[in-house]
Structure 1
Amino acid sequence: MSKPHLFQSRTHGDGEPTVSVLPAQVPEQEIDEGSEGPQILTEPRQATTRSKFDEGARGIKLAIRAESGFFAHAYRGLLIAICAVILGVSSTGWCFLIVSAALVLVAETFRCAIIATVDLIAEPGDPRARAAREIASGGLLFASITSGCLTVMVLSAKLSEMLGW
C-alpha cells in the first residue's frame, strides 16, 4: 500500500507536531503565521461555486496522484464498459454500472482522505491509526464487492439473454 505524499508535517520548536497543507490549497489570507507556526484560520469564507469546483478538482487530482488504486479501478471499469458495449447492455444496466463504478471511486477518495489525515495526526505504529486505516479500507472493500455483484448481475443477465438461457 502506498503512502500518500499530499501533506507536509512540521514540528514546533518544542517538538510538537503541527499539521499544514500544501500552500496552493489554502489562500494566503486564511493562513496565520503566528508564533506557533502556520495555522488555518477558522473564520468562514465566502466561497463561490467556481472556487468550490476548483477545490474539488484539486482534491480529485491529489487523490489520483496519491493512490495507485484509482488506476486499477479505472482499468477494471474500462474492461467492464467494453464488455457492456459488446453485449449491448440496456440503459438501465448502464445506470447500474455507472453508479456502481462511482460508488467505488467515491469510497477510494474517502479512503485516501482518511489515510492522509491519519498519517498527519497519528504517531507511527498507533493502534488507533491502524484501526482507522483498516476501517477505511473495509469501506472500500464493501463498495468494491457491491460493485462487483452489480456488474456480474447486469452482464450475466444480458449474456444469458443473448444465449437464450
Structure 2
Amino acid sequence: MRGFTLIEILIYSALTSIIIGGSLVVVYQIIESSNGIYDKIVIEQEANFLLQKIKWALIGATTINVPPVGATSSTLSVNKANFSDNPIIIDLNSNNLRLKNGLNEQNILNSQNIAVDNVIFEHQAANGNLPEAVKINLIVNSRLFNTTIYLRK
C-alpha cells in the first residue's frame, strides 16, 4: 500500500505549523516596526515644524520681552521689526504650543497627533563675537529637540 503513515502526517503537520507560525511572527514584526518608524517620522516632522515657527518669530526680532537675559521661561515674547502685530507670543498650554500675534487670537501650532510635553526658552546675552541668542529645548512625545537661534541686528 502506498500513502502516508500517521507519524509522517504528524511530522509534516508540525513542520507546516512551524513555518506558518514563523511567517506570521515575521509579518507581525515588520508591521509593528513600520508603525514605530511612522510614529517617529510624524514626531520629528511636527517638532521640526514647531522649531521653524519659533525661528520665524525670532528672525528679524528687535526685542525679546520674555524671558529676560540670562533667564528661562516656557513663554517667548518678541517684537519684530516692520511687523504690525507685535508682540509675538509663543507659549505652552495643556500640551499645546500656541502662537499669538498682537491682539489676534492664539493659535495652536501642533497637531492633535502629538503632545508638547515641555518647552524652555533661554535668553542668552551677547558674548564676545556671538550675538544675542535664544536656546530652545522642546520636548515632544517625550523626545528632546533643541536648537539655538542667534539674533541679527
TM-score normalized by the length of structure 1 = 0.27
Higher share of residues assigned strand: 2
Which structure carries more helix by proportion?
A: 1
TM-score of the superposed pair, with normalisation by structure 2: 0.29
Tell me which structure has the larger Cα radius of gyration.
2
